Structure 1
């Protein structure tokens, strides 16, 4: 599978943005309407200033009284503009918060809906970066950019129209002088998207390298790979730095040029307006009003320029967040004709390789009956965990098949797969939330009695020591040791109540006595269900109905404990060695 997560195209991002805007269209309409009123109110002040200048220059009648009235009107409309602008921003920010929540929820739903075999092969660092950094940037942009860009756009349009209506010659002069701003933006936009996509991608690569290095720290240390990982990290950081410098270069060209270009319209109107006024073709008040309008235009255009730069990064993050929808997933396969029915698991001549160079499983044939307890044993590297991944649908055999009820396990939809098979490993996750909420993940409608029963079933005696019982917040009221956290993970399995449970080192963090008690409790709870245990303690295998013995990627023995001990082959030798120890 391709390790690179897809990125949404421009059209897909545009469609997603329009969908998010349409989901709260009345808020968007409210922002536009209220801000339009604010912009209209803001035009009155400069116009009244021009009237004040013309009134003073004319000097006829009660000049002082007229100026006072005009000044009071300018002040009044300024207050009205401020109030309306505040109202528009309030509507916009609320819209942004709601939309940001929708984006995050959509990303989480898409992540959880991925088939296990797909999700398990995704680059963890990139996925984390998309769900955290990229989603946060999109949320911040929607919360701030949408209202501010709408406010700035409407304000700028009103100012341009006002200058054109005030005097067409001055208005056209101002527009011509604004062409420099348009040229700078066009130059920037043609180069920005690939640069900012590279910034996001290289940042995710750094996160992936850090995450994988931290996860495999013990293995790296044991194999003496510190220098190699250091080189990989340095290379990722250097690539990220190079991408960020590329984005910085674009900004260093855009902003200085735009600052110069934004001052040109004011200068142009002053020069042209002064010439027209000197020739009695326009009043001084009109020239001043047009100049103030164009000077006010710098504010919204400055805001737009700032957001144009930030929107490139946000657009790249939006494309990465939406790109999750483009991850290909296989269509559920129908039951094979003549195949098994019900919940029987069959592995038929399965071969599997992680790299394609060498098979780590070869010719596996195995039939697991419903309700059977099967133990898979073997030395390290024999292929036990790989077989467990195939049985859980996390990987697909390159040749042969792994089916349940006649359907390929890897093709089952996630919800249906969880009803059939759950793989439990030594890896577990505890959320910084109440114990109750940590358990309800597996069964949202579970009662407190069911939660207590699940914890009791896995031998979680530490429950009695919690200060607030199920309401105790993990990480605040109590800290769970690794063994306790693993029991919490197993309690979730009891609540999920799958038909088939695959245990791969699920009790490895427990001491032998606690592990034995936990496995016995689980066996009692899951009686009548299929249990496949990757047995690292042979006592676990002793209690199984049948034992499958793996060696060098092949299934070399299959039978009951007594049969295999009596045969005296691989399992018999392991049993005798374990008993001697």
Structure 2
């Protein structure tokens, strides 16, 4: 690793540390109180060796012990130990509260930020990795902060306080300790500067492992159906091996810190004992004074040992914090304008729209469409032609790279996303059921709906038949696997039936529903679409014959446009698509 790379990584580590401090700044009162209590604890603990020294010096010679004075010093030692213990306990409580509140704030901000991130970020990162950043990485940050605050403050104050007390006893021995101490510090710094990137690699591997576990467990039926168990186990074993290797290196390298610094500190301790022994015969130091210096030398070096142990946890915590802040510093969606859509009629204008997911791979080119209010627009074409991308652009999940889209004459970039999306009712091929009651799942778009409204919408969408058979009806708690795919899709249709927005988007809305139920729902959709601008994406072309206009897409462009009869009469690409669904393959 080059010197430049090392410097850059150290800068990144310090930058992450200051970012964490900015979060802690909200609790600066608790921080100041913790520092004060740490100082009180250290001063009380540091005064104990002085009292022990005085007590030892009361032993003048054989049978010449002043037990009264010795008892006085020992009683004061007991009082100081009790008060020091109380202060330490209060400091630990404060550090716990400060740490967990800070982590709570980081998690809350992470969730809020994820909801503001563009869809492109969520599409480009696995769900498991994002979950790992919000849950596992913040847990490790919490542990590192807790250990760090408890020992770092006390350690620094102990070092300063010990120096002051040692100078009051013997200047030369104190200077000797100060001169030798940086050796211990440089050893710890050398090891910790190398362990940060190892912990970062460990966190990255852990994130990829979480993503794989989430992927495999969430799709276990597919894994088993296609006999993918062994290959998924091999993938897991490879990542697990990488995680084991990264963890071993990080832990081994960082674990060298404590024994290395202890070795250096023991040499310093021996030097103090030797130097003090030479000073006693000349009267420059008493036996009690030497015992005090040895106690202080040990206490002075102990924080360096503790801090070196803390550094291991802090490096791990900072590596995890870096991943968290990488998420928090991702650019959110472009600012939401304050404009609104009022009394939406449903006129949609699309002018010269182009779009690309990747800079060098255009997908939609020169897309133009004008839709009068209340018309039904069907969008058909082969897989990958841009149908769902077009829907994403209508809802502003992605912004166009060229051209403009307007609703009732207002460009959608000039109105808030909430207003725009609230004007559409959307039923997708991919269903989503949240953990909660059936009622909660239906009322997502209209939380104040009455039971009568919910039941009416369920009857129109033909979901009431299975809802009323559930153990608690609308109050039944749903989990991800509580319902079949078709039942989930019926619930998603019921959501839209309840809201009745001015515009509709149906993207393969009945793909998981049996043919008989589909015919009934199609009738309900026909009634619901009366007077509402509707965009219908369908692969089964028989379901969109009654559309006012059909857009035939291929390679991101509209190649044909018209009613079903007009397109069939042209004998072009649409006719081939339509007929291909009804051709009987002869033996």
Q: Could you say whether these structures have the same fold, taking a TM-score greater than 0.5 normalized by the shorter chain as the test?
A: yes
Q: Say which of 474, 497, 513 aligns to 2:478.
A: 474
Q: Provide the secondary structure at the position in 1 that maps to 2:468.
A: helix
Q: Cα offset for 1:364?
A: 3.3
For 1:508 and 1:246, the matched residues in 2 are separated by: 51
Q: Aligned partners of 1:355 and 1:417: how far apart in 2?
A: 25
Q: Secondary structure at the match of 1:279?
A: coil
1:191 and 2:194 correspond: yes
- 1:207 to 1:62, Cα distance in 2 relative to 1, 3 A: closer
Unmatched runs of 5 consecutive residues or more in structure 1 = 1-6, 336-340
Q: Deviations over 1:88-112 (max 9, x none)?
A: 1011111112111101011111110
SS at match of 2:477: coil
1:205-237 CA distances to partner (integer Å, 9 max, x unpaired)? Answer: 444566567778899999999999888777756
Query: In 1, distance between residues paired with 2:230 and 2:206?
Result: 21
In 2 relative to 1, CA 560–264 (structure 1 residues): closer, same or farther, beyond 3 Å? same
Which residue is equivalent to 1:550? 553
Tell me which of 57, 67, 71 is aligned to 1:68: 71
CA contact (8 A) 1:375 1:540 kept: no
Aligned in 2, Cα 1:442/1:342: closer, same or farther, shift over 3 Å? closer
1:280 is aligned to 2:283? yes
Q: Among 100, 114, 117, which residue is 1:114 paired with?
A: 117
CA apart distance, 1:71: 1.9
User: Out of 283, 293, 296, which is 1:293 matched to?
Assistant: 296
Q: Could you say if the C-alpha distance between residues 542 and 98 of structure 1 is closer, same or farther in structure 2, counting changes exceeding 3 Å?
A: same
- Say whether residues 1:464 and 2:468 are aligned partners: yes
Deviation larger for 309-318 or 192-201: 192-201
Equivalent residues in 2 for 1:247-262 (5 A)?
247-262=250-265
Quick one: structure 1 residues 144 and 407, their matched pair in 2 at CA, closer, same or farther if it must change by over 3 Å? Answer: farther
2: CA distance, partners of 1:346 / 1:182:
68
What does the per-residue CA deviation read over 1:292-331, in whole Å, with 9 as the maximum and x for residues that have no partner?
A: 2333445543332222111112112212212234323564
CA distance in structure 1 between the partners assigned to 2:133 and 2:501 by the alignment: 31
Do residues 181 (structure 1) and 184 (structure 2) align? Answer: yes
Change (3 A) 1:446 1:526: farther
Question: Is it true that 1:425 corresponds to 2:428 in the alignment?
Answer: yes
State the TM-score, normalized to the length of structure 1: 0.81
Question: 29, 34, 42: which one pairs with 1:31?
Answer: 34
| Kept in 2: contact 1:89–1:148 (CA 8 A) | no
Alignment of 1:369-388 (within 5 A): 369-388=372-391
Root-mean-square deviation (CA, aligned residues, Å) is 4.2
Which shifted more, 313-322 or 299-308? 299-308
Q: What secondary structure sits across from 2:350 in the alignment?
A: strand
Counterpart of 2:25? 22
Residue 265 of structure 1, CA deviation: 3.3
Distance change >3 Å, CA 300–CA 463, structure 1 → 2: farther
Contact 1:178 1:264 in 2 (8 A): no
- Match for residue 330 of structure 2? 327
Q: 2: CA distance between counterparts of 1:354 and 1:54?
A: 81
The 5-angstrom pairing of residues 295-444 of structure 1 reads: 295-297=298-300, 299-329=302-332, 331=334, 344-352=347-355, 360-396=363-399, 400-404=403-407, 414-420=417-423, 424-435=427-438, 442=445
User: Does structure 2 retain, via aligned residues, the 8 Å contact 1:174–1:265?
Assistant: yes
Contact kept, 8 Å, 1:330 with 1:411, in 2: the verdict is no
Matched length: 569
SS at match of 1:23: helix
Q: CA deviation at 1:530?
A: 3.3
Question: CA shift at 1:352, angstroms?
Answer: 4.8
